[in-house]
Homo-oligomer: A and B are copies of this chain.
C-alpha cells in the first residue's frame, strides 16, 4: 500500500532539481572553496551562487548570510553568540513559552552560566503580545528571541511589531523562522528581525544545512572557531553538497511561492472544513487565521495521539504527534500546555503537515482513516465511555 506523506514538518522529499544539483556536485567533487586554484574557485563560485539564492529568498545582502549545519546550529549561534558578544551590556534574554527546544535549551545553558531570562506567555491561540515583550525588556536585556512560526501549532507571531519595540529599545531581535522561510513569503526587511534562523528541508532542500541571517552591524560571536570560512563567522570546510541543494531549493521556493501557498491553503481549508463531518469532540489548535498554510494541529479527545498516529500509518497516512526533535520525551508538549490544553488533550494531538505534492484526495482519504481509527480507539477507551 502506498503511503501518503502528511508529515512534512518532520521531513520533506528533495525536489528533482535539488537532487540533480546535489548529484552534480557529488559526481565532480574536486574543489575546496578556500583553495587558491581553479577547482577551488569553481567551488567558491557554487558556494556564492547558493548564498545569493538564499539571500534573494529572504531579501538581504548575501554578506549577511552565514551557512551553518541546520536550523538548530543557527539558533544556537544566534542565542549564544549574541549573549557572549554583548555581555558588557547585560545578561538578560527575553523569549516566549512556545519556543523550539533549540532556543529553550540554548537559553537554559546560558542561565546555567549566569544569564537571566524572561519567558513571555502566549494566548490560547499561541500568540505573543508585543506589549508583553516590551514589558519584559529590561536595562540589561541584550536579546529578544521569539519564533516566527510554531512547529507544533503553526501560529505566526507579530515579529514586525516586536521588531519596532526592540529597535526602539536597542535590543537585538532573533527569530527562529525554520518553519516559515521558504514556506511563506518572508522578507527580512519587512519582518525587521536582526537575526533569522532558517534551514533548507522545509522547502524541499536537504537536512543538515541551514543559515543564520545576521543584519549588518549586529554584535555576535561565532560558536564554531577555526579557519577563516564564512568571513570568520563559522569555521570548517563547507558542506558544499548540502549548500548547493539549499541554494536551488531557495531559488525554487521563491519562484513557486505563490502557487505553493495557494495550494497548501486550499488543502488546509478543506481539512478544517471537513473535519466536523468525520470526527467530533476535537479542537483545532493555534490561530487558524494567522498560521502556517501547511500545518493543522488537531487534539482528538479521549484518544492517545501515538496510537492514532501508528494506526494511521498502518492505514497509509503518515502524520506526527509532535516535533520529531522531541521524540523520546515522555512529557506532554510544552507548546500545547502553554496554550491551555490539559495533559490528556495534549497527548491526543496530531500534527498534519501536507506538502506541495499532496492532493485533495489525500486529505479526504486521511479524514476517512481518521474517522475509522478514532472510532475504533474510542470504543476501547475507558475515558470515552466514562466521559
Contacts and interface: CB of A to CB of B under 8 A. Distances in A.
Interface of A: 3, 5, 7, 10-11, 13-14, 19, 22-23, 26-27, 29-32, 34-40, 43, 68-73, 75-76, 100-102, 105-106, 108-109, 199, 201, 206-209, 221, 223-229, 235-243, 306, 309-310, 313, 318, 320, 323-329
B23 A329 contact: no
A35 B19 contact: no
A303 to B, nearest CB: 16
Copies of chain A in the complex:
2
A69 B236 contact: yes
Contacts of A102: 225-227, 235-236
B11 A19 contact: no
A239 B242 contact: yes
Contacts of A201: 237
Contacts of A75: 226
Given A102-B225, A226-B101, A35 B320 contact: yes
Contacts of A37: 7, 309, 313, 318, 320
A276 to B, nearest CB: 27
A72 B7 contact: no
Given A29-B11, A325-B34, A106 B226 contact: yes
Given A208-B208, A226-B101, A36 B309 contact: yes
**Which of A31, A40, A108 has most B Cβ within 10 Å?**
A40
Given A29-B14, A208-B241, A241-B242, A72 B325 contact: no
Contacts of A26: 14, 19, 22-23, 206
A192 to B, nearest CB: 25
B76 A224 contact: yes
A228 B30 CA distance: 35
A287 B30 CA distance: 29
A315 to B, nearest CB: 12
Contact of A226 (B11, B30, B105, B310): B105
A306 B242 contact: no
Contacts of A224: 72-73, 76, 223
A353 B238 CA distance: 20
A327 B36 CA distance: 8
A306 B116 CA distance: 50
Contacts of A40: 10-11, 324
Given A11-B31, A325-B227, A69 B208 contact: yes
Given A73-B224, A225-B102, A324 B34 contact: yes
A178 B199 CA distance: 27
Given A71-B236, A72-B226, A241-B241, 17 more contacts: A5-B39, A7-B37, A11-B35, A11-B237, A22-B26, A22-B241, A37-B320, A38-B313, A68-B69, A72-B227, A72-B237, A101-B227, A207-B239, A227-B323, A228-B329, A235-B325, A241-B242
